[in-house]
Amino acid sequence: MRLEDAKKRVDELHKLLNQYGYEYYVLDKPSVPDSEYDKRMQELIALETEFPQLKTPNSPTQRIGGEVLEGFQKVRHRIPMLSLANAFNEADLRDFDRRVRQTVGDTAYVCELKIDGLAVSLRYENGVFVQGSTRGDGTVGEDITVNLRTVRSIPLQLTEKVTIEVRGEVFMPKRSFAKLNKEREENGEILFANPRNAAAGSLRQLDPKIAASRNLDVFLYAIGENHLELIERHSEGLNYLDRLGLKTNQERRLCSTIDDVLEYIKEWQEKRPDLPYEIDGIVVKVDRYDQQEKLGTTVKSPRWAIAYKFPAEEVMTKLIGIDLSVGRTGVVTPTGILEPVRVAGTTVQRASLHNEDLIKEKDIRIGDYVIVKKAGDIIPEVVRSVPEKRTGKENPFAMPTHCPACGSELVRLEGEVALRCINPKCPAQIREGLIHFVSRNAMNIDGLGEKVITQLFQENLVADVADIYKLTKDQLIQLERMGEKSVQNLLTAIEASKENSLERLLFGLGIRHVGAKAAKILAQTYEHIDRLMDAKEEELQAITDIGEKMANSIVTYFQAPEVKELIDELKSLGVNVTYKGERPQNIADIESPVAGKTIVLTGKLTNLSRNEAKEKLEQLGATVTGSVSKKTDIVIAGADAGSKLEKAQSLDIEIWSEEQFLEILNENEQ
């Protein structure tokens, strides 16, 4: 056969096999028997063998997996893949609906089944699949293109030559999961706990042939980068994905009211066991894209979507002991040791008991039968004891008086329920602090997980976070399960982390009360760690979202001589201590009577919506908050203003009418 004829036939087979695959894996309506598909696939393989130049990355033959990978490259998402806020009951959903309607008015929701799998991003250029990645931390994921090519319901070529990013969930169907675990049992291998873990483990295989053998599936649920101006609604976007040949979940429903949403949830709560795949809830999204944009996002989640989590499964087992752990802030936490039991798809042997007061309040004793559930279907916790099953051999539990890690006396700080070790040299705190420092939301050092940190700590290779940046190849190669490649990758990741923006370092340092959001605000405000270290409590408290407790904690932390030494050491080791992110608009450049002021809106406004008023104030350099405090400069009171107005009056805060506010707006628009 001539090359020209072969190319023509290969193109025909591509179209034919793609069509057969779409009908079988996406539509679930095969038009030909398996034997016909196999016959055409063998014909294509033979042609590609004879004419290797005709084998392309998007050929149907490439779904069986290629060469073994050395590792996964990092991928920065062009638009962050945010996680969803959770709702656990009707009240949470009605609160969400109220907040949405207060901002955008009348709206409709798209309800979708929440697939229990692994979130992925797929990028197509001119209709051809070019890259697939994991969600990762939402900003940076891993390139798993080769493994995603093996998922047969992911088209390698779209029906239109568009450039688009789409997002979805790769999952393992119940049938595939049962088959896989049966094979592993027969081979004497450890069983996967649930289909989600199996799917995640499959996509992170360095050998694509293993991923190909796992029979994964996908549902796409969103357009990531949307350059398609004609599509105005999420529901239209999903229909468009269908037309492109992408697989979406057809059980979705457009709901005009929150009552319709609740009806949908009730329906699927009952039908959930009959599905061929696992779901762990329902996702509710505002349908219109312009309304989504108006609602915006928080640091972690969109304000226009929420995930309703099905009530947690509760099971009974025996509490055989209580273990104590010391966290990075010195808090001693009791954890229940259980007789192994299956809860929500995984075997549970440990469950949170939170604190001593809760143990006493619920009268939980060692030897009790207890009810266990997974909070949010993730974290196992002991709900209550079952006193009627007691035999008299059960033992009440008492918290120790001294730290189980270092022997120092435990204290209970004013207003806290937890017992705390306040020894700064406590080895358990140091270890936990190191684990926090390298974690995903902090310095995000890939390869430095809990086990490796524990090893390093036990071998006296790290005593504080600065020691991480002094590690050498010779030190690391001695560690268990550390080969040449692993060591090199780890050293590269450590070196790369030096370039992180200041907010990651601040969060990683583990300053008490300073979470990821506060770290970002502090980094934006001060831009360099030296300026933050010199900050006084009063000026910190003047910053929106920085309260008295946090301000005191920051000042106290940076006053410690050992902290100053640590920061100097980190600087000398090349760790960045400046803010590299986007800067908010400089208030000094805005000329208006409200620039730099903290303002609260209350009551009904007649000329503007609450959201429009907020936007206009922010454009004039003001910060709009939801509650009145000593930090509030002005309260704008509309009709029927209530408790916020009263509080403002009691604190002698300046109060404006809506008319005064409009006058200011008019003056600044002239």
Catalytic residues: 114
Residue 37 assigned ligand-binding role? yes
Residue 572 assigned ligand-binding role? no
- How far apart, in whole angstroms, are the C-alpha atoms of residue 467 and residue 569? 9
- How far apart, in whole angstroms, are the C-alpha atoms of residue 272 and residue 310? 10
Residue 34 assigned ligand-binding role? yes
Residue 83 assigned ligand-binding role? yes
Residue 174 assigned ligand-binding role? no
Residue 426 assigned ligand-binding role? yes
Residue 439 assigned ligand-binding role? no
Please give the angle made by the CA atoms of 549, 551 and 555, to the nearest 5 degrees.
120
Count CB neighbours of 553 within 10 A.
Answer: 17
Work out the burial of residue 349: count CB atoms within 10 Å of its CB; fewer than 13 is exposed, 13-18 middle, 19 or more buried. middle
Beta-bridged to residue 18, according to DSSP, are: none
- How far apart, in whole angstroms, are the C-alpha atoms of residue 422 and residue 412? 10
At 95, which helix (H) or strand (E)?
Answer: helix 90-104
- How far apart, in whole angstroms, are the C-alpha atoms of residue 234 and residue 291? 11
Tokens of 63: 């779904």
User: Which alpha helices (DSSP H) does 114-173 contain, by range?
Assistant: 145-148
Contacts of 538 (CB under 8 A, 6+ apart): none
* Chain position carrying tokens 């929500």: 344
Tokens of 404: 């189980």
* One-letter identity of residue 153: S
Check residue 555 and give left, alpha or beta (phi > 0: left; psi -120 to 50: alpha). Answer: alpha
Residue 569 assigned ligand-binding role? no
Residue 84 assigned ligand-binding role? yes
At 610, which helix (H) or strand (E)?
Answer: helix 610-619
- How far apart, in whole angstroms, are the C-alpha atoms of residue 154 and residue 219? 9
Tokens of 664: 């200011």
Residue 35 assigned ligand-binding role? yes
Residue 135 assigned ligand-binding role? yes
- How far apart, in whole angstroms, are the C-alpha atoms of residue 421 and residue 182? 47
Pairing of strands 634-637, 598-602: parallel
Residue 421 assigned ligand-binding role? yes
Residue 640 assigned ligand-binding role? no
Contacts of 339 (CB under 8 A, 6+ apart): 317, 318, 320, 349
Please give the angle made by the CA atoms of 137, 438 and 167, to the nearest 5 degrees.
10
Contacts of 305 (CB under 8 A, 6+ apart): 84, 85, 283, 284, 285, 286
Pairing of strands 279-286, 253-255: unpaired
Check residue 481 and give left, alpha or beta (phi > 0: left; psi -120 to 50: alpha). Answer: left
Residue 220 assigned ligand-binding role? no
- How far apart, in whole angstroms, are the C-alpha atoms of residue 181 and residue 179? 6
Contacts of 438 (CB under 8 A, 6+ apart): 444, 445, 448, 449, 453, 468, 497, 508
- How far apart, in whole angstroms, are the C-alpha atoms of residue 572 and residue 581? 22
Residue 36 assigned ligand-binding role? yes
Residue 406 assigned ligand-binding role? yes
Tokens of 645: 């107005």
- How far apart, in whole angstroms, are the C-alpha atoms of residue 199 and residue 180? 11
Q: What is the DSSP letter of 439?
A: S
- How far apart, in whole angstroms, are the C-alpha atoms of residue 55 and residue 128? 15
Q: What is the DSSP letter of 189?
A: P
User: Which alpha helices (DSSP H) does 296-438 contain, by range?
Assistant: 356-361, 427-437
Annotated binding site: 34-38, 83-84, 112, 135, 169, 285, 309, 403, 406, 421, 426
Annotated binding site for Zn(2+): 403, 406, 421, 426
Annotated binding site for NAD(+): 34-38, 83-84, 112, 135, 169, 285, 309
